[in-house]
Structure 1
Amino acid sequence: MPEITVVKVESVADDGGQPGRMVHIERPKDWAACPDCRVISTTVRQRRTTRPRDLPYGPEPLAVRWHKRQFACAEQRCARKAFTESTAEIPPRARVTGRLCRAVARQAASGRSIAAVGRECGLGWPLVHRHFAVHADALLIEPEPPRVRGIDETRRGRPQWIKNEATGRWARTELFETNFGDLSGTGGLLSQAAGRTSKAVVDWLNTRGHAWKSQVRIVAIDPAACYRTAIRQALPHAVIVVDHFHLVALAGKALTAVRQRITREQRGRRGRATDPEWANRRLLLACAREQAPRSVISHRLHRFLSWCADSGLSELLTLAETIDAWWPETLAFITNARTEETNRLIKDAARVAFDFHNLHNQRRRVRVACTHHTINVPAA
């Protein structure tokens, strides 16, 4: 550490007889400046020994003993009569070195839980979380407006009931969070908003300002009517896109519903692996990457919708209505895979933390988890 000199290293044993090392350090300069008046003093009043916790090094436990000096202030008019020497890495009254604080913050930002990092370094949860919050807030700057944006939702866990002290009424917390992602740059997860409604999306977009919204050209969403309504209201110039994956997923669900219903009606039981309709359940394939001309695509769509209408099956009629309603957005053809990846990272962060109780901590932790791979983290 800067301004610190190792005096000696001793081999010691803890209470359980396990070997360890004790490092004795001191500040080599025999003078120090008063933190109030900045007058240099060389008069030592007394010596003290502190035990700051530092980064582990090597296979054996490491203990640090800092032999500090207390100086008498040389300025008679200074209100501070004495002060103890300190450094930037070990400030006054600090029990943890600065490099250990930065290390635990980076460990928590890498995806590990706060509790696990604290147990490994012998620190409490509040201390680790405080330094992680400082580290994360420095990284999560306001992103540039993306040209292509993804919007999706994730569930926030179990609902909680909170009592309003003013009205005395109980209100349930939102079960869903709307996620705003950057699909054209390296912004990752831009932000989150409570709820899965048009108002939540419109309010978040309006807070960015007109200049910010004007930069957005394409918005990729799921087949959610509330999101489509919000985008048309807040971003009327943007092109709305629905990933073709969702149409394939809807077709797969419709096929599964028909297969299960027919199996129950004809066999009087659930499907088994030996049933042909069960063994061939994954034969539905997508031909989205063929890059066929628009005329061919329109012909196939018409043939598909006619086939669904002539089938007389309620599942296929529902599928045809959904595809027809969202076909203009699907025809734009842009993948929303990065938004789905963000959803997976959000869920992983919640699992590592065994779910969140504080909404502000959750959003900070989730944003770091979804953007840390695009951020150049400075060295300690």
Structure 2
Amino acid sequence: MKSPVDDVRRRVQQDSLGHRGRRDDPLFRVRRLLRRRADRLTERGWDRLLAALAAGDVDQQIGLTWIAGQDLRAIFERRTRYAAEQHLHRWLTHCADTEIPELHRLARTIDAWRGELLAYFDTGGVSNGPTEAMNSLIKKVKRVGHGFRNFDNYRLRLLLHCGVDWQTPQPARIRGRLPRLAA
């Protein structure tokens, strides 16, 4: 998944080194750590991340963007909508005060979706995500199947891929008895 931290890292690497990230570049080596939540970093991960930022992030743009991402995640740890609104307002103000264009773009997007994001607190944390994931999986199975001609096969394939515990009913018998043999 593309993130503003990745965009800033790529831009900073291109500006400072003149090429895309390579295996030996310090920022390229920690690109996956930059996507991880702060509370999920091990002590070794913190050491690697801080060393890479010290070596490759000369104007602290990557570090500031990473901190902004962690702060954005913290909005959903708030207990009430009011506290989340206050935190979001501070976050948007912070992003507007920086000189990082990727953060400006992210802040505009988050501001446009403010109502939908804060609806998380009105619904008790209920999300439509599982439904959307299932719909995406159904569309993928249909696309891979190149158009099923038999609905029963399509249904079975969907049940198999979606991980549903299913029992296929026996088809109804067309004939009640065996045909007579004419000899």
Q: TM-score range by the shorter chain?
A: 0.5 to 0.7
The one-letter amino acid paired with 1:348 is V
Counterpart in the other structure of 1:316: 103
Counterpart in the other structure of 1:325: 112
Between the aligned partners of 1:318 and 1:363, the Cα distance in structure 2 is: 45
Query: Is 1:269 aligned to 2:60, yes or no?
Result: no
Between the aligned partners of 2:6 and 2:78, the Cα distance in structure 1 is: 28
Residue 263 of structure 1, CA deviation = 0.6
Counterpart in the other structure of 1:338: 131
Residue 273 of structure 1, CA deviation = 4.1
Aligned mate of 2:79, from 288, 292, 296:
292
Contact 2:141 2:158 in 1 (8 A): no
Residue 295 of structure 1, CA deviation = 2.8
The one-letter amino acid paired with 2:115 is P
Residues 378 and 332 of structure 1: is their aligned pair in 2 closer, same or farther, counting only changes over 3 Å? same
Counterpart in the other structure of 2:168: 377
Within 5 Å, which residues of 2 pair with 1:208-287?
A: 253-278=3-28, 279=30, 280-284=33-37, 286-287=73-74
Contact 1:349 1:365 in 2 (8 A): no
Give 3-state SS (helix, strand or coil) of 2:34's partner. Answer: coil
Counterpart in the other structure of 1:37: none
Residues 363 and 378 of structure 1: is their aligned pair in 2 closer, same or farther, counting only changes over 3 Å? closer
TM-score between both structures, scaled by the size of structure 1: 0.28
Within 5 Å, which residues of 2 pair with 1:1-380?
A: 253-278=3-28, 279=30, 280-284=33-37, 286-287=73-74, 290-333=77-120, 334-335=126-127, 336-351=129-144, 353=145, 355-356=146-147, 361=149, 369-370=157-158, 373=164, 377-380=168-171
Residues 300 and 364 of structure 1: is their aligned pair in 2 closer, same or farther, counting only changes over 3 Å? farther
Who wins on radius of gyration, i.e. which is larger?
A: 1
Contact 2:4 2:103 in 1 (8 A): yes
Superposed CA offset, 1:46-68 (max 9, x none)? xxxxxxxxxxxxxxxxxxxxxxx
Give 3-state SS (helix, strand or coil) of 1:281's partner. Answer: helix
Contact 1:257 1:315 in 2 (8 A): yes
Residue 260 of structure 1, CA deviation = 0.6
Between the aligned partners of 1:345 and 1:276, the Cα distance in structure 2 is: 41
TM-score between both structures, scaled by the size of structure 2: 0.53
Across the aligned residues of Structure 1 and Structure 2, the Cα RMSD in angstroms comes to 3.3
Superposed CA offset, 1:284-335 (max 9, x none)? 5534663522232122211211121111222211111111111111222232
Give the structure with the higher percent strand: 1
The one-letter amino acid paired with 2:16 is Q
The one-letter amino acid paired with 1:304 is W
Between the aligned partners of 2:151 and 2:12, the Cα distance in structure 1 is: 45
Contact 1:263 1:271 in 2 (8 A): yes
Contact 1:346 1:369 in 2 (8 A): no
Contact 1:342 1:370 in 2 (8 A): no
Give 3-state SS (helix, strand or coil) of 1:302's partner. Answer: helix
Residues 329 and 289 of structure 1: is their aligned pair in 2 closer, same or farther, counting only changes over 3 Å? closer
The answer to which structure, 1 or 2, has the higher relative contact order (CA under 8 A, 6+ apart) is 2
- Stretches of structure 2 that go unaligned for 5 or more consecutive residues are 38-69, 121-125, 172-183
Q: Between the two proteins, what is the percent identity of the paired residues?
A: 27
Residue 366 of structure 1, CA deviation = 5.8
Between the aligned partners of 1:258 and 1:290, the Cα distance in structure 2 is: 26
Residues 275 and 337 of structure 1: is their aligned pair in 2 closer, same or farther, counting only changes over 3 Å? farther
